[in-house]
Structures are given as structure tokens and as C-alpha cells.
Structure 1
Amino acid sequence: MSKKTAIRTREKWVDDVKVIACILVVLGHFFQSMTKANILPASDLYKWFNTTIYYFHVPLFFICSGYLYQKYSKVNSVGSWCKNVAKKALALGVPYATFTIATWVLKKVFSSSVNDQIGDLGDTLFLHPTAPYWYLYALFFIFLVTPTFSSVKAAAVGLIIALAAKVLILTGGGYSIYAVSIVLSNEIWFVLGMSICALNVSLKGRKVRGTIGGLLFTILSVAVYMMGIRNDAVSFAMGLLACVAVILMVADYEAKFGKCMDFLAKYTMPIFLMHTLFAAPTRSVLLKMGVKNAVVHVVLGVSISFAGPILAAWIMKKTKWLEFFVYPNKFIKR
């Protein structure tokens, strides 16, 4: 297979995993906003759900990014490193800056009606990124320090280093600088994704293991919540179990996913970037109109969290230049 052909080949399981992770990110942020605004009660069901998805939804994104990085990139020299950094600075930096600034402006303009206040623009952009854009911030710094693996041995060394970084964080080290701590904490997920590719791990035919892992994770998540365990090492172990289960199940069931998953896979980036920009104003408008019915807020809020970014992405694509703020690399290729 030529390099050009390989680039065109999409990994369906990766797309499907990103859709699942994206849906969970949206739901997590949405229900957090609902409880903070006192529209929905902070029930045990909500607390369990919110705690549980945070074990693994963002790690799934890092795993997918690492897999694609290893599969389609070759970064093993100063020249290739510089080229990759420039490419990622554009691909991640433009949407990161664009939507961080948009979020910052909205929170400043509607400061009286937002759930979480925000700091100065410079601090938010460069030192303490806001949710959900911290993921792009972290991913860029991970690309800065992570070469691709040229052999199985290199993958093993990479895993050892990434695990050591995670242990350092778990034992209380590396927290003084946010950019450093976020890399140390999430490098392991990224390298796990790279290793799946580098070690040519077979994901097919393991749906039984994935299903068992998923059931075990669900049972353990309930037990951990009920016992009130708040431990970073336990959270990491839970996240690892959940990620393995999700990936194994998705890889085996990918052919059974309908057109809805394929459709959403085209819009994971716009949904990730813009869901809060649509959901928060919708909630504020409804509250100003005196609408406090939880069902109305949930139905309209969840709907606009997905439909709004999809419609915006469609408009951006039609106007061409606006698409630059979501997919800047497309314009460089042109």
C-alpha cells in the first residue's frame, strides 16, 4: 500500500471510539452545567455517572491520537520533529486559540449568568487552559516530547518512560507547572495508543473479553463510588480497564454500528470544540425567559449541543474560509 493510499484509509474503530468519547464529553459538561445552575439535582446517579466517565472519556481521545500519530507519522530526526511541531502548532493552535478566545469573551460578557468564571485571557491561553480545550493544549506538548517508535524495543522503552511519568504524578510530583503536569499525566494514554499500532496488537475477535471488562468496570465503578474512594491510582486503573473494554468491543462490533455513528464521526472535532458555546447560551436564554423545566432544558440543551456544532461546521464548509478555524491544515494542503 502506498503512503498516499494509506493516508486515505480511515480506521473505523478509531472513528467510532472518538464518537463515543465525544458524546460522553458533551454529556459530562452538559449535566455539570445543569446541576451547577440548580436545574437538575446533584443526585447519586449524576455523581456516579460524572465520576465514572471521567475515568476514561478523555484518555480514549489520547489513545486514538497516539495510534494515528504512530500509524501515519514518522518523527525520528530533528528535521521531521520540526516539521511535525509546525504542523501540530497550526492544526491544534488555531482551533485552540479561536475557541478559547470565543469562550473567554462569552464568559466575560455573560459573567453574571455563567457557572464558572474565567481568568485573564493570557493566563487562560498560555498557562491554565479552560475545558474542554485543555485537551488540545496537552496534546500539543505531548507531540513536542514524543517521537514515533521505530521498533518493538522502542515501543517498550516508550511505555516504561510513560508509566514512570504517570507514577511520578500519582506520587505527587510534577505539579508546579501545568504544561508539565498535564503531559506527565496523559503521556501514558498517548503512548498506549502508539503501542497498539507499533506492536500490531490484534483487536478483532475479542468482544467477549471486552464485554467482560466492561461489565467488571461498571460493577467496580459502582463499588468505588459507594465506598467513597477518591484515589488517583484507583482512577488510573479504572480508566485503563474501561479503555481496554471500550476499544475491544468497538473494534469487534464496528460493522454493526449504523449510519448515525458514521455521520457523527465526520463532526467529532466541531462538536468537541463548539458544544459548550451552544449549550451555555441556550441555558441562559431559557432561564432569562423564566423557563426552569428540567425536561425542556435537557431536551433542548442536549439537542443544541450536537446540532449546533454540526450546523456551524456545515456553514463553515460552505463558506470555505471559516473552516480554517476548525481544520487549518486543509488550507495548507491546498
Structure 2
Amino acid sequence: MATTHLAPAGMVSPAGRDEPVRQTSRLGWVDVAKGIGIVLVVHGHAVDGLMSAGLLSKSGLAAFSFFAVYCFHMPLFFLLSGLFVPRQIERDRRRFAWRQVGTIVWPYLLWSVVQVTILYLASTYTNRPREELGYAEILWAPPSQFWFLYVLFLFHMVAAALVRRDTAVPMLVTGIFAFVAFHVLWPRATVPHFFTELLIFYAAGIAFAGQITALPGWFVRHRVWVIAACAAILPYIWFGFSRGLGYADLAMVPATLVGICAVLTVATALSGRVAALFRFLGERAMAIYVLHVLFVAGTRIVLAKLLGVENGAVLWPILLAVGVAGPVVTFELLARAGWNQRLGLGARPRATKVANA
């Protein structure tokens, strides 16, 4: 989720239509994709919390949407994270490695401690009560959603060692071996589990880095095929869900690939205010990621356990809205005070222009 700057590049849509997203110093469609992805992350945790609390069925449409989203949303984020790595490493390999301490390690440690402390103090009301603080465990067992930052840091370190200017083959080979190891050995511990499962998608992002400006055109040209693939994959996902498959099972890889392509197709096709909204969220993805669980869990506790609102269908959109808006408002307030980067939430993005709808 780290912010990465690139030289200006234009995206021109065919047939004289509105440009999907204009960009100044960033590739706007990547931020739009991150914005879509981070909303899906909040959705997943909101639904998961409601199901764990017994407020939503584990076999209904909400549960199916949770399963479907989890088939692809984190592979998507790792692919997007890999897109900018080769250029950063080419610019300064050592600086790239050290930069991760401030952009990943610091927010991981800080906000893991904050979240663990708050959830421990509120353990009477949480779905999974913490019996002890366990700060030391943060060093090897990431709490809740923070596994992403832990694993992303490890991926960046592997990239710093393996990525070369003219080839992504070492990263891809390493990713393939890790992927095979995941499905053969099926590691149970959190970090080995996600490392072996997801390295291939991060490596794919690195492999596609050289075509980053051409990707929007590819998705525009092939969007009909992507739509057809989405229509075909939904019954397949439902079959996997109804049969009790895990979203990380090898059988669900087609759903992973189609889901990623679907988000990237939407991200490159959006224009106007909708694109601007998702880009706005994508530029603040780090803040939303590290803070959303506190807002989602806190809101659910207040509404369900203190105020007695126990209708999951009513709670879900509220939790989604609060889980997105709460971190954004927090980020903006901290940015005005100049504390956003000190607290590991990333730099405040510069204003950018988006094509009118």
C-alpha cells in the first residue's frame, strides 16, 4: 500500500470516449484499483465480524460475497504492490530496502500495538477475546489484518535481493516454487501461509511492471471477454462455496485470476467522480487498512451489544461506511496537524485531475 511516484503518463481511451483517469505524477488507474480493493477489504471484515457475532448467516449471500471477495482481493493488492518495485530498485536498491522500515515496519509495529491494546481492553465485547496483550508475539505472529504489512515487507526484501534490471525471472521462479509449496505442504502458521500463497502475485506485478502503461489499453480492448469470464465464474465460485472449499484452495485459482482482471478492468474504465472517489480512497489505502478494524469492530460493538441493533442486513452497510470514512477522516485530521507520516499513515496525496463523466 505504500505510495509510489512515477513520471507523468497519459491514458487515452479509444473512440474518443472520456479518458478513464488522468494522472499527474502517478498512474491514476492503479490508485483507483487500490480504492476498489480497500473497500472490498473493509466489506470482508465487516461481514466476517457480523457472521462471527451470529448476526449474519454463514451460508447466505453475505457469506458468499465474503468468500468471493476473499478469492482475489489480497492477491490483487500484492500484484499492485509489485508493479512499481523494479523502477524503485533500479533507481537505488539499498534505498528501496531501507525505505521499507519507515513505510511498512513502523506502521506495522505502531498500529499492531495500538489495535492489540484496544481490543484487549474491550475483550469483554469482542468476538475473539484476547486473554493477554502478547506484544512480543507481534514480532512473529501478526495480529489480525497486519499480516499484510508483515508479508509485504518480506516480499520487498526478497525483491531487493532478486530483482534485476533486465529480468523478473528469478522472482517469478521463486514465486512459482512458493506457490507449489503452499499447495503441497499447506503451511498453517500465518506468515509462511501467506508468504507461500501470495508471492506469485507480487512477482507477477513485478513481471508486468514494464507494461504498466499498456495495461489499461489491454483491459479496455478485452473488457467483453472479462465480463464474459465474470459471468461464467460466478456459478463456479458458488459451487466452491456451497461445497465447503476454501477460498485459497487450488481449485479457486480461476476465480482469483478473473477477480483480479475484473477489478483492473473496472479501474481502467471508470471516469469522472466515481473514478475520483476510488482514487481518493486508493491514495489513503494505508490509513484505511491499518485503522478500519478498530472502526468496524467498535461500531459493531456499540450498535449490536450496547444499543441492541442486531439486524445484520442493517448493520453491514453502516459498518462498511464507518470502516471507510472513519480512517479517512482520521487521516485528514492528522494530516492537517502534520502527524500523518509520523504515525505511518503515508503522505497526503497532491490534488490530481480526473476526467469529467
Q: Give the TM-score normalised by structure 1.
A: 0.86
Instruction: Provide closer, same or farther for how the CA distance between residues 108 and 241 of structure 1 changes in structure 2, counting only shifts above 3 A.
Output: same
- Residue-by-residue CA offset, 1:109-148 (whole Å, 9 max, x unaligned): 0111111234643344111112211100100011111143
Partner of 1:326 in structure 2? Answer: 344
Please tell me whether residue 282 in structure 1 is matched to residue 299 in structure 2.
yes
Contact 1:210 1:247 in 2 (8 A): no
Give the whole-Å Cα distance in 1 for the aligned partners of 2:105 and 2:149.
8
Aligned to 2:251: 234
Tell me what 1:150 maps to: 165
C-alpha distance in 1, partners of 2:170/2:229?
27
Give the aligned partner of residue 104 of structure 2.
Answer: 92
Question: Which has the higher mean CA deviation after the structures are superposed, 177-186 or 37-46?
Answer: 177-186
Letter in 1 for 2:89: K
2:65 matches 1:55: no
> In structure 2, how many angstroms separate the alpha carbons of the residues matched to 1:85 and 1:329?
19
Compared with structure 1, are the counterparts of its residues 101 and 84 closer, same or farther at alpha carbon in structure 2 (3 Å cutoff)?
A: same
Match of 1:130 in 2: 143
Q: Report the CA distance shift for 1:111/1:219 in structure 2 as closer, same or farther (over 3 A).
A: same
Residue 286 of structure 2 corresponds to which residue in structure 1?
269
Q: How far does the alpha carbon of each residue in 1:139-176 deviate from its partner, in whole angstroms, 9 at most, with x for none?
A: 0011111143412xx22343232112100111016x37
Offset of residue 11 of structure 1: 1.3
Do structure 1's residue 208 and structure 2's residue 224 form an aligned pair?
yes
Judge which range, 213-222 or 125-134, deviates more: 213-222
Task: Write the distance in 2 (CA, Å) between the matches of 1:4 and 1:146.
Answer: 19
The equivalent residue for 1:301 is 319
- Measured in 2, the distance between the counterparts of 1:56 and 1:41 equals 22
Aligned to 1:316: 334
Q: Which has the higher helix share?
A: 1
Which of 1 and 2 has higher RCO (CA within 8 Å, sep 6+)?
2
Change (3 A) 1:327 1:284: closer
Unpaired runs of 5+ residues, structure 1, are: none
Cα distance in 2 between the residues matched to 1:88 and 1:109 = 30
RMSD: 2.6
Secondary structure of the 1:324 match is coil
Cα distance in 1 for residues equivalent to 2:164 and 2:180 = 22
Q: Kindly state the Cα deviation for residue 329 of structure 1 after the two structures are TM-superposed.
A: 7.0
Hey, what does 2:128 align to over in structure 1? 116
Matched AA of 1:161: T
**What corresponds to 2:202 in structure 1?**
190
TM-score with structure 2 length normalisation? 0.81
> Match of 2:16?
none
Task: Tell me, in whole angstroms, the C-alpha distance in 2 between the residues paired with 1:27 and 1:34.
Answer: 11
8 Å CA contact 1:90–1:329 kept in 2: the answer is no
Tell whether the 8 Å contact from 1:159 to 1:191 is kept in structure 2 after alignment: yes
